[in-house]
């Protein structure tokens, strides 16, 4: 239990239903939907749709989604991959012919076909109780009538002024009067309200065919993009079987590639060989092990994760005990690796995550993203759709499994998680933050399972993250003695550009019939139960 004399927040408890998200309007929407008779998937989609309005830097209907559902809390997990693909005409040869060596964020080539709307419609139709129109009604109202800018949202707006200034529609909508809206200011998105209302009336086809798709495609092609109306009409997400590994007597479940959930599992497999609970939660010993394991797991991620429909991803080998043993042998306690060995198989960015549990204990772990803040920074002029930059997840090397190809999905950072024990789900969870997410899953689960922190404390703890540039980003709350010890171990540290991610989780106590939720203080949100 936290020290009640110090700043912080306590976990939230309820019995009938609970939601946790990164924005209070989103969390309240989920609870309202549950109380109106909707189930967890209705509530999750309604809440995500609201976040696409009130947290426009983090997510939007021009992005992608992933989801894990546990019907009635049972270990019959349903995974859904709602990520979009590159246009059919996108080939490495075309980019080479144009002299393009890297897909840049503020270009049409960074925009893959958005998968979120298709995913929402399909999940509500297949697993919800309410009509899509009812589910989208709160989001439409906030876009049309306005929403007050929250503190973290204002920070994100201010952080992306340069991005928003590049596009005339983005500048008009998100920089009213030439500057970002401030905390407490009412902000409206009338074009987006009309687009959401059209989707509510006509379903997913209102986004992927007709005026909305025509607006997006014509805008992107005018900028030199390869997108066609056929690319939009052909989009379809897919149901997938979650992958899992064992950690401290629980199964940790993730969506399989093209997302980086596999990375979190590799990382946990490495850490499972250590007595992590023998270290203090903020000790240099614990954080050193997490840093080194993260570096190794992310090297695997960068080498192997791709769209399994277009490349071979050796999931079983990467999750094998032998592979974890080999990686663990590369870690030396108290001494940082000078370089990460080349990955071998055995012989940041913005996002919103939320979770909901309903009265039947159906649990939903849901994540929706544009990738970087405000995605590509490109906004379709008539429909007001902020377009993602997930195409930046591709490489242009034809020999790499994640090389761009027509109809191929890029490597994705967003990962919903689910914790299972004895045939039942005990916790939907997730940690946002671009590349940080896999590391965040391991860090939060470690605090909870290894160190006995409650779910809120596990998210409150300061975070560290080793970047691709060799710098370990360290949040300001880390104890000075721990920071100095990491320096002695050989780690080079620096401050992150913004707080490391954000997260939510809901613990299900099946014996007591109680739900316990936590929500990350790095965002504006909260957990609510009833």
The predicted structure's pLDDT at residue 349: 59
Instruction: Note whether 111 and 385 are within 8 A (CB).
Output: no
In a domain? residue 341: no
Look up the CATH number of the domain holding residue 150. Answer: 3.60.20.40
The parent domain of residue 204 ranges over 18-274+348-457+501-530
**Is 351 known to be catalytic?**
yes
In a domain? residue 253: yes
The predicted structure's pLDDT at residue 2: 78
The predicted structure's pLDDT at residue 87: 98
In a domain? residue 97: yes
Structure tokens at 364: 């939903």
Q: Which residues contact 170 (CB under 8 A, 6 or more apart)?
A: 163, 164, 374, 377, 378, 379, 386
Instruction: Note whether 419 and 253 are within 8 A (CB).
Output: yes
Largest CA distance in the chain: 64
Structure tokens at 489: 């171990």
Catalytic residue among 59, 107, 294, 351: 351
Residue 405 DSSP one-character state: -
Question: What does the DSSP assignment read for 198-230?
Answer: HHHHH-THHHHSSHHHHHHHHHHHHTT----HH
Q: Is 507 helix (H, G, I), strand (E, B) or coil?
A: strand
pTM above 0.75, yes or no: yes
Q: Exposure string (b/e) for 80-89, b if CB count within 10 Å is 16 or more?
A: bbbbbbbbbe
**CA 190 to CA 213: how far, in whole Å?**
18
Residue 395 DSSP one-character state: B
In a domain? residue 452: yes
In a domain? residue 315: no
Instruction: Note whether 437 and 411 are within 8 A (CB).
Output: no
Residue 425 DSSP one-character state: E
Pairing of strands 502-509, 424-432: antiparallel
Structure tokens at 139: 């989001």
In a domain? residue 280: no
Find where tokens 């540290």 sit.
493
- What does the H/E/C string look like for 52-90? HHHCCCCCCCECEEEEEEEHHHECCCEEEEECCCCCCCC
Task: Report the DSSP beta bridge partners of residue 81.
Answer: 66, 238
Measured CA to CA in angstroms, residue 195 lies from 120, 169, 199, 205, 435 at distances of 15, 15, 6, 12, 31
Length of the chain: 530
**CA 165 to CA 176: how far, in whole Å?**
11
Q: What are the tens digits of pLDDT across the range 271-318?
A: 999 999 999 999 999 999 999 999 999 999 999 999 999 999 999 999
In a domain? residue 493: no
The predicted structure's pLDDT at residue 416: 97
The predicted structure's pLDDT at residue 440: 96
Q: Which residues contact 345 (CB under 8 A, 6 or more apart)?
A: 314, 317, 318, 323
Q: Which parts of the chain have pLDDT scores under 50? A: 346-347
Instruction: Provide the 10 A C-beta neighbour count for residue 424.
Output: 15
**Domain count of the chain?**
1
Q: What are the tens digits of pLDDT across the range 347-394?
A: 455 688 999 999 999 999 999 999 999 999 999 999 999 999 999 999
The predicted structure's pLDDT at residue 497: 87
Measured CA to CA in angstroms, residue 491 lies from 69, 288, 500 at distances of 39, 9, 18
The predicted structure's pLDDT at residue 347: 45
Instruction: Provide the 10 A C-beta neighbour count for residue 466.
Output: 23
In a domain? residue 216: yes
């Amino acid at each position: 239990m936290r020290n009640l004399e110090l700043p912080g927040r306590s976990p939230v408890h309820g019995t009938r239903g609970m939601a946790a998200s990164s924005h209070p309007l989103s969390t309240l929407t989920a609870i309202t939907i549950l109380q109106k008779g909707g189930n967890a998937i209705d509530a999750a989609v309604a809440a995500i749709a609201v976040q696409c309005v009130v947290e426009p830097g983090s997510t939007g209907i021009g992005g992608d989604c992933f989801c894990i559902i546990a019907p009635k809390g049972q270990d019959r997990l349903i995974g859904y991959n709602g990520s979009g693909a590159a246009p059919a005409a996108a080939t490495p040869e075309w980019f080479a012919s144009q002299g393009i060596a890297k897909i840049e964020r503020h270009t049409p080539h960074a925009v893959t076909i958005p998968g979120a709307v298709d995913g929402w419609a399909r999940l509500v139709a297949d697993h919800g109780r309410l009509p899509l129109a009812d589910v989208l009604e709160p989001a439409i109202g906030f876009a049309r009538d306005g929403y007050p800018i929250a503190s973290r949202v204002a920070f994100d707006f201010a952080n992306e002024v340069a991005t928003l200034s590049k596009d005339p529609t983005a500048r008009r909508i998100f920089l009213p009067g030439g500057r970002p809206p401030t905390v407490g200011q009412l902000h409206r998105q009338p074009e987006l309200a009309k687009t959401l209302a059209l989707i509510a009336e006509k379903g997913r086809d209102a986004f992927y065919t007709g005026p909305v798709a025509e607006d997006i495609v014509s805008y992107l092609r005018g900028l030199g993009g390869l997108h066609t109306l056929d690319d939009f009409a052909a989009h379809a997400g897919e149901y997938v079987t979650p992958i899992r590994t064992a950690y401290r007597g629980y199964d940790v479940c993730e969506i399989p590639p093209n997302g980086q959930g596999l990375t979190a599992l590799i990382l946990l497999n490495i850490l499972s060989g250590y007595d992590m609970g023998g270290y203090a939660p903020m000790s240099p010993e614990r954080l050193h092990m997490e840093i080194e394991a993260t570096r190794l797991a992310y090297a695997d991620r960068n080498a192997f994760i791709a769209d399994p429909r277009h490349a071979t991803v050796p999931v079983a080998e990467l999750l094998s005990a032998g592979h974890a043993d080999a990686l663990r042998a590369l870690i030396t306690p108290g001494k940082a690796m000078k370089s990460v060995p080349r990955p071998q198989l055995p012989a940041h960015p913005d996002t919103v995550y939320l979770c909901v549990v309903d009265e039947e204990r159906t649990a939903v772990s849901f994540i929706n993203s544009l990738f970087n803040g405000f995605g590509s920074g490109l906004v379709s002029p008539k429909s007001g759709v902020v377009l993602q930059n997930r195409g930046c997840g591709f490489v242009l090397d034809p020999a790499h499994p994640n090389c761009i190809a027509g109809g191929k999905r890029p490597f994705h950072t967003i990962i919903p998680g689910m914790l299972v024990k004895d045939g039942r789900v005990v916790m939907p969870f997730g940690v946002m933050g671009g590349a940080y997410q896999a590391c965040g899953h391991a860090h939060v689960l470690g605090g909870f399972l290894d160190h006995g922190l409650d779910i809120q404390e596990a998210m409150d703890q300061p975070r560290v993250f080793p970047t691709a540039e060799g710098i370990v980003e360290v949040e300001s709350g880390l104890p000075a003695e721990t920071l100095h010890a990491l320096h002695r171990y050989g780690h080079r540290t620096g401050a992150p550009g913004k707080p490391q991610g954000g997260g939510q989780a809901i613990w299900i106590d099946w014996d007591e019939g109680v739900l316990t939720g936590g929500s990350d203080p790095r965002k504006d949100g909260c957990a609510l139960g009833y």
